[in-house]
Structure 1
Amino acid sequence: MQSIEERINEGDHYGALQTLKTLLVRASKKKDMERVGEIGRKGSILLLRNGHATAGLDVSLNLVEIWESSKQSVTEETKVIVQDINDAYMTGIKDKAEGARLNGKFLDAAIEWSKEENQKSNSYKRGDPLFHHLAAKAKLRAGDPGGACQHFVHAHQPKEFAALLFQWSNQGYQNERDMFLARAIFQLLAQENLKDANIVFDTFCALLLTKSIKLEAPLFNFVRFLLKTLERDAYPLFKVLRDKYAPVLRSDPSFDSFLDQIQVAFFNVKPQKKGMAAMMENMLGMFGAPPQ
């Protein structure tokens, strides 16, 4: 690695990049995953800290590709490597917005790799929570709170998620504050994460109190009742809630879809098909075809 550092210091970052790629391939062919991780970590960090952002991204993506093709498991060691490279993106690139953008590409690749590996253990099928947490923070540095929220849904950091929602909702119309909260809660519940949904709700409410803000909108009340209903495993009450608040829930076309997912996740009840889908199913039933 010393010769690579010397090349970088001499301004030959392209030569350093090609050497790093060659070393990664050799270590991969020998199935020396410890060596692969060390080369990828040190090489990425050297390039990023010396301002060679594109080359640093190239090496870090190459590392993740090798992990993926080699069926490398997500371990505490690989998580540390991802974190170390993530830190280099944050500190090594002068243009912070560009650093956050490139960092996001690296973390997206890490999340995809972790999705594939976690399928084997049936855990974190949406990707490792740590990687989602790092990606959420990268999105925030890039000025993309919406993108950050999508990662926070899977990051298992509900208090940070609630703080972001509160801050973001302050930038919108005050009468839409409940929409920010509802979307986040519904997404968490669709993942069967009732624990984090409750923490997000409670933390958001606590932040409202610090600013002496009262939130008594119908949608806010629906979310509060929904959480209590799911804790009680009360499907009849769930149906009553959906019917009673149907006019409010029509304010966002995605709400019905999320609530259908929640219904399946918590009560194992498939939603009834509507319109043409229901008509087609009835017609197929008349001819003895099994329901779709």
Structure 2
Amino acid sequence: MSRERARRIALAPAQENIEKIKKVVEEGNYYGAQQMYKSIGARYISSDRYSEALDFLQSGACIQLENGQVTCGAELAVLFVETLVKGKFPYDDDTLDRIKKIYKKFPRISVPQHLDLADDDDMQQLSEALAAAKTRAEGCSSFLKAAIKWSIEFGAHRNGPPEIHDMLADYIYSESPESDMAKVSYHFVRGKNPKKFASALVNFMGKCYPGEDDLAVARAVLICMLLDWPLVPYRLSFRLLLCKAQKSARHGARRKPAPFSENGVGLCYDGGKEGKRAKACLLQTPEFAQFFSKTGLRLVQIKGDRWVTGCGGGRVATGAKRHGTGRGFMHHQGGARQLGGYLALGNLRDANVLMDEMKKQVQVREVDFPRSELMQLVNYLLKTLERDALPLFNMLRQRYKSSIDREPIFNELLDEVAEKFYGVQRRNAMPGMFGDIFKMISGE
């Protein structure tokens, strides 16, 4: 009987309940307010009023965080994401903005410095500050990890939105009492802010134990070589546009291969007459013009045995194709290898950007950049991977074996580099092995 009565009771609009509970918070009754947020939020959800539930939970999370109630705020933030899942809300810019607003409410408090470790009061103060910092980092991490998981399921880039990865990496690094660069790198390499990533690494160099700095740099650069930098957060719309390009480019010939193929960072097109003709038509299509303008990507031409233009407008790769011609090149082994090389070079560019940015920042901050055999190896690798030089790559691995063996995971990463850049198949490789390796490194 009570359940039926509860269903008959009208649930007030979200804004009315927001104002009501805000007063409870202002009175200092944070626990009571939290129970009200959770119970009323659950009622909105059970009534399928998901939009109101989102407004209500977002407000609750922000209000609790503004009042320093990190545990309560983080709990409501996670409930906000769970509501996105239950309501099957697609990933879009508006929802990303809402996630950012909650994230910005998580407090940033510096741990007290220059304390007297022999003083009991100072030690107590430090202990409490470290515990609070850990709570903040864990609460924010739980919220943003849930947001990444939701976004992947509902339309974002396959690695999750780079903006959320950047937020998570930055908060973990700045607020966590433990400097876990593997975990920080896990998210920065999936973000799109190499300057901030470089800044975090340079800061780490100044406070880590001897011998840890070059390991952190090498790990970060190797991972950049392997992970796709999320240049295209519009993957679904890109595929739809690609289908339209292929359809329009066929000119009614059903069996004739379309001169366009997806490479993950742009459209590849045949450099012949048919491809150029289709390109001209394509660039006049408003949808494509808007897409390429929005993403900064370009068409990639393949002509004869060379890639001619790429995302940066210059030559990105060369090399003979062993099978087939430019037309319909995705159906041939040689074309597929060229495509793999292009994607790999995109990763190499990101690794070079990160390395260059670190070198700039160490000069400005007057921090010593690591000088070790491991750093020599990284610099040589960046140059070697620009060309078809598998023998040189293998020679470097042998020459710097002792440095590589300092961290066992480096051998696994280099095996992945060999496969990605040179097509060397790993023995007994399991599908998804790299993802498992990286999660093991980061503890994710």
Shift of 1:85: 1.5
Which structure 2 residues correspond to residues 72-221 of structure 1 after superposition, within 5 A?
72-90=89-107, 98=132, 101-119=135-153, 121=155, 123-125=157-159, 127-139=160-172, 140-146=174-180, 147-172=183-208, 176-193=212-229, 194=347, 195-210=349-364, 211=366, 213=368, 216-221=371-376
Unaligned runs of 5+ in 1: 275-292
Structure 2 residue matching 1:74: 3-state secondary structure: coil
Range 103-112 or range 160-169, more displaced: 103-112
Does 2:290 match 1:256? no
CA offsets 1:234-279 (integer angstroms, 9 cap, x no match): 43432232223223211211110111222233334322359xxxxx
Structure 1 residue matching 2:163: 3-state secondary structure: helix
Does 2:182 match 1:27? no
The residue type paired with residue 153 of structure 1 is V
In 2, Cα distance between equivalents of 1:71 and 1:33: 9
- Return the index of the structure with the highest Cα Rg: 2
Which of 400, 405, 415 is matched with 1:245 structurally? 400
Range 143-152 or range 99-108, more displaced: 99-108
Q: 1:11 to 1:165 in 2, by over 3 A?
A: closer
In 2, Cα distance between equivalents of 1:175 and 1:114: 33
Where does residue 280 of structure 1 map in the other structure?
Answer: none
Q: 1:116 to 1:237 in 2, by over 3 A?
A: farther
Q: 1:104 to 1:266 in 2, by over 3 A?
A: farther
Contact preservation (8 Å) 2:54, 2:83: no
Which structure 2 residues correspond to residues 227-238 of structure 1 after superposition, within 5 A?
227-232=382-387, 234-238=389-393
RMSD: 3.1
Shift of 1:3: 0.8
Contact preservation (8 Å) 1:107, 1:131: no
Q: How many residues align?
A: 273
Q: 1:173 to 1:77 in 2, by over 3 A?
A: same
The residue type paired with residue 351 of structure 2 is A
Q: 1:29 to 1:148 in 2, by over 3 A?
A: same
Range 108-117 or range 76-85, more displaced: 108-117
Contact preservation (8 Å) 2:163, 2:191: yes
In 1, Cα distance between equivalents of 2:390 and 2:155: 30
Shift of 1:108: 3.0
Instruction: Report 1 or 2 for greater relative contact order, CA contacts < 8 Å, sequence distance ≥ 6.
Output: 2
In 2, Cα distance between equivalents of 1:52 and 1:168: 29
Greater percentage in helix: 1
Shift of 1:116: 4.8
Contact preservation (8 Å) 1:24, 1:63: no
Contact preservation (8 Å) 1:182, 1:223: yes
Contact preservation (8 Å) 2:74, 2:143: no
Q: Normalization by structure 1: what TM-score?
A: 0.79
Where does residue 3 of structure 1 map in the other structure?
Answer: 20
Does 2:104 match 1:65? no
Q: 1:66 to 1:119 in 2, by over 3 A?
A: closer
Q: 1:207 to 1:6 in 2, by over 3 A?
A: closer
Where does residue 58 of structure 2 map in the other structure?
Answer: 41
Unaligned runs of 5+ in 2: 1-17, 112-127, 230-346, 430-444
Shift of 1:44: 1.0
The residue type paired with residue 415 of structure 2 is D
Q: 1:235 to 1:116 in 2, by over 3 A?
A: farther
In 1, Cα distance between equivalents of 2:48 and 2:352: 45
In 1, Cα distance between equivalents of 2:421 and 2:224: 12
In 2, Cα distance between equivalents of 1:268 and 1:32: 52
Structure 2 residue matching 1:55: 3-state secondary structure: helix
CA offsets 1:1-50 (integer angstroms, 9 cap, x no match): 11111222233333322332233234334544432321121111112223
Shift of 1:202: 0.6
Q: Normalization by structure 2: what TM-score?
A: 0.54
